[in-house]
């Protein structure tokens, strides 16, 4: 938890990589527009402009560190991208600080 009584904000960036079989009809593992929609609907809408400590049930009992946000993001997105498989998440906290997570 932040030392400031009013907390502080971050502008995170999230890189999401998927893998799997290429659909012979579309040429995609997962259409990038569909992936963007999945990330927005399943994850971003729950986190954007929210106090993660107070407003987001995923973090009521879990500190919203970049590492924990990456793990929660994985848990939310992995089933949502099926039949593709989530391969890698990189969560950028700043332009120099990021967390990589691959589900392990």
Mean pLDDT of the chain: 92
CATH number reported for the structural domain that contains residue 67 in this entry: 3.30.479.10
pLDDT digits (tens, 9 = 90+) for 20-58: 999 999 999 999 999 999 999 999 999 998 999 889 999
- Look at residue 37 and tell me if it is in a domain: yes
- Look at residue 75 and tell me if it is in a domain: yes
- Given a cut of 80, whether residue 74 has pLDDT beyond it is yes
- Look at residue 18 and tell me if it is in a domain: yes
pTM of the model: 0.87
Instruction: Count structural domains, the chain.
Output: 1
42 belongs to the catalytic site: no
93 belongs to the catalytic site: yes
- Look at residue 96 and tell me if it is in a domain: yes
Q: Which of 21, 49, 61, 95 is catalytic?
A: 49
Q: Which of 2, 10, 19, 41 is catalytic?
A: 2
Structural domain boundaries enclosing 93: 13-101
49 belongs to the catalytic site: yes
For 2-19, letters b (16+ CB in 10 Å) and e give eeeeeeeeeebebebebe
- Look at residue 5 and tell me if it is in a domain: no
């Amino acid at each position: 938890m932040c030392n400031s009584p009013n907390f502080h904000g971050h502008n995170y960036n999230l890189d999401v990589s998927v893998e799997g079989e290429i659909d012979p009809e579309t040429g995609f593992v997962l259409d990038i527009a569909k992936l963007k929609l999945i990330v927005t609907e399943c994850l971003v809408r729950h986190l954007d402009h929210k106090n993660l400590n107070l407003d987001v049930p995923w973090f009521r009992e879990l500190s919203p560190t970049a590492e924990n946000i990456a793990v929660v993001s994985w848990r939310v997105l992995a089933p949502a991208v099926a039949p593709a498989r989530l391969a890698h998440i990189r969560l950028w906290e700043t332009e120099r600080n990021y967390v990589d997570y691959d589900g392990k």
